[in-house]
Amino acid sequence: MQCSEIGRRKTGDGGDRLEGGRIERHFDDSSTAWLIGEAVKQLNLAGPEAELAYARSVELLRQSEDLVKTVAGILRRVHSGDGPLRWCILHVLGDAGGADSADLLVHAALEELPEPQHGQGCEGTRDVEMLVRTMAVVALQRVAGRHREALGHVMQVVSARPDRAVLIEAVKAARDLGLADKVRETLPKESLWILDIRRAKTQELVADPEREDGNERGFTPPKFGKFYTAPQSGCGCSRRED
């Protein structure tokens, strides 16, 4: 679950919002930590005011000299617990980080995944950790898009050949950054199919009805609201998708 730009926010009353109390515990050490916490909170709110507050937080964080050090410290404290919170922190780092954040993002992307466990439903520990790893890759792509000296870090993830889901995200990132030729030189032939995966907007996947002869059934095309940002913190197996 990703948002590809600042300003995409969650709407509705679903379970993708992080509770303020869970956020505030980790962001009291410094002004930079407080700004990161503000960005995380605004990331999980909806509306123009939240969008503006998030963008302002990112703008200020880009001027911070200890952003990477602060993020690394927070991630160490929450590493064994809150996957959705770490997802959000990496999202913020992708929007605010400079080239010096690339090493941390590579490390986050390549951290070993826990073994799959039966009986955990659709949002087990491994599934949540996979979301964290793929967000690290997406964040790294954003950083490399602003700071070309970080392009080599994207290829570092590709070269490591992590779990397939993470590798796919890394290959897509590399391709979108103009590194397709380097990917072809790096990956074995049997993995080059990943380069052919095309990104599609949700609206492109809506099929028009073929039948025009009959009124026995009405047709209402699905409506698409704003995309979710953070992964939900509880299992959503039984919740209906909008």
pTM: 0.72
Locate the domains of the chain by residue range.
20-113+124-198
Chain-centre distance of CA 72, in angstroms? 17
Tens of pLDDT, residue by residue, the chain (242 residues): 433 333 333 333 434 445 444 554 688 889 999 999 999 999 999 899 999 999 999 999 999 999 999 999 999 888 666 889 999 999 999 999 999 999 999 999 999 887 766 665 556 788 888 999 999 999 999 999 999 999 999 999 999 998 888 999 999 999 999 998 998 898 888 777 776 776 666 665 665 555 555 555 444 555 544 444 555 544 444 444 44
- Tokens of residue 47, six digits: 């509306």
